């Protein structure tokens, strides 16, 4: 369905996980998903009555099998796609237990921050990628 200014916004909790080498965990969205075939930071929709950090913890457990123990806000991006409007609530994952993997069959990589722009992300992610790359180069 086409979206317009009256389309409800989908609130999405998104986690940026960095390893000791300074690389970021990204996964390729499955072809059948919205924005399929593009790379993403793990996360998913905030459910009704759920706090965004609860959604972050739940989604990263489901998708990456990690238990997030500390996080901090990174940025918020609102974006209107042709078919959907999203509010990406992006968090730094400061600490977690477990080994990050991908539980839903998506391809994943630990990407060098300086190389993040080599991956094709959904349009809404551009400010997030810019923000991460700027922080890295300063
Ligand atoms: N997780 C994630 N979603 C993103 C990113 N960029 C972006 O535009 N999105 C969009 C795609 C989707 O429309 C929405 C997130 O939905 P999702 O499919 O991950 O939601 P979910 O994990 O709850 O999965 P489901 O219940 O729909 O199966 O946000 C991103 O970097 N990470
Ligand atoms: Mg998801």
ipTM of this predicted structure = 0.94
Residue of 12, 42, 45 with the most ligand 1 atoms within 8 Å of its CB, for mutation:
12
| Number of domains forming the structure of the chain | 1
Task: For residue 128, give the CATH number of its domain.
Answer: 3.90.79.10
Summarize pLDDT for 12-64 with one digit per residue, the tens. Answer: 999 999 999 999 999 999 999 999 999 999 999 999 999 999 999 999 999 99
Reference 70, options 19, 17, 119, 26; nearest CA is 17
Q: What is the mean pLDDT of the chain?
A: 96
Whether 108 is covered by a domain: the verdict is yes
Q: What is the extent of the structural domain holding 129? A: 9-137
Whether 4 is covered by a domain: the verdict is no
Record the pTM. 0.95
Please state the atom number of ligand 1 nearest to the C-alpha of residue 13.
1
Distance of CA 62 to the CA centre of its chain: 14
pLDDT bin (cut points 50, 70, 90) of residue 2 is: confident
Question: Six-digit token pair at 8?
Answer: 């409800």
């Amino acid at each position: 369905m086409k979206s317009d200014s009256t389309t409800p916004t989908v609130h999405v909790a998104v986690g940026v996980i960095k390893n000791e080498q300074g690389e970021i965990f990204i996964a390729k969205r499955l072809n059948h998903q919205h924005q399929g075939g593009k790379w993403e930071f793990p996360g998913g929709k905030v459910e009704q009555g759920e706090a965004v950090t609860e959604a972050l913890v739940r989604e990263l457990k489901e998708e990456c099998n990690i238990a997030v123990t500390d996080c901090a806000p990174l940025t918020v991006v609102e974006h209107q796609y042709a078919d959907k409007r999203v509010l990406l609530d992006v968090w730094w994952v400061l600490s977690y237990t477990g080994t990050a993997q991908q539980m839903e069959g998506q391809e994943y990589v630990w990407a060098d921050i300086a190389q993040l722009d080599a991956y094709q992300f959904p349009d809404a992610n551009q400010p997030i990628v810019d923000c991460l790359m700027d922080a890295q180069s300063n």
